[in-house]
Amino acid sequence: MDEVREYGNNGFRKHQVVVETGDGKWDNPVPVEFTKDTIEKSKSLQVGDKVSIDARVNGREWTGRDGVIKWFTSINGYKIQKEGGQDNIQGEPDSSSFDTYDEYDDGIEEEVF
């Protein structure tokens, strides 16, 4: 579980939670990002909590200086339910909850890989 981090001059905040989805034999850690008002939904989580997370998968295209197009994927959570418990916060997100901020964009295009 990561701490809440702030990026850029506009105060964009993000909380990353890594969810273990493996079967015990094969690990499958999945990072889920919570942004804006959804951060409050993830802050009460503790390592070892069993949860269900409703999320949206977002993709983004990036073109390098060499013209090669690459794709990036992120998972943005908007609802959490602890196993055997109540939802941390109910309700569907508004569309602004899915705005993304590229923490790696420094305005200079360069080769990523």
Number of domains in the chain: 1
CATH number reported for the structural domain that contains residue 14 in this entry: 2.40.50.140
pLDDT at 7: 77
Mean of the pLDDT values across residues 20-46? 84
Who wins on pLDDT, 86 or 42? 42
pLDDT exceeds cutoff 80 at 35: yes
Mean of the pLDDT values across residues 18-44? 85
User: Residue 105 domain-assigned?
Assistant: no
Instruction: Give the pLDDT band (50/70/90) at residue 87.
Output: low
Is pTM beyond 0.75? Reply is no
User: Residue 103 domain-assigned?
Assistant: no
User: Residue 110 domain-assigned?
Assistant: no
Domain that holds residue 32: 5-93
User: Residue 84 domain-assigned?
Assistant: yes
Sheet with 12-20, strands from edge to edge, namely 5-7, 12-20, 29-35, 69-82, 51-63
As beta bridge partners, residue 34 has 15
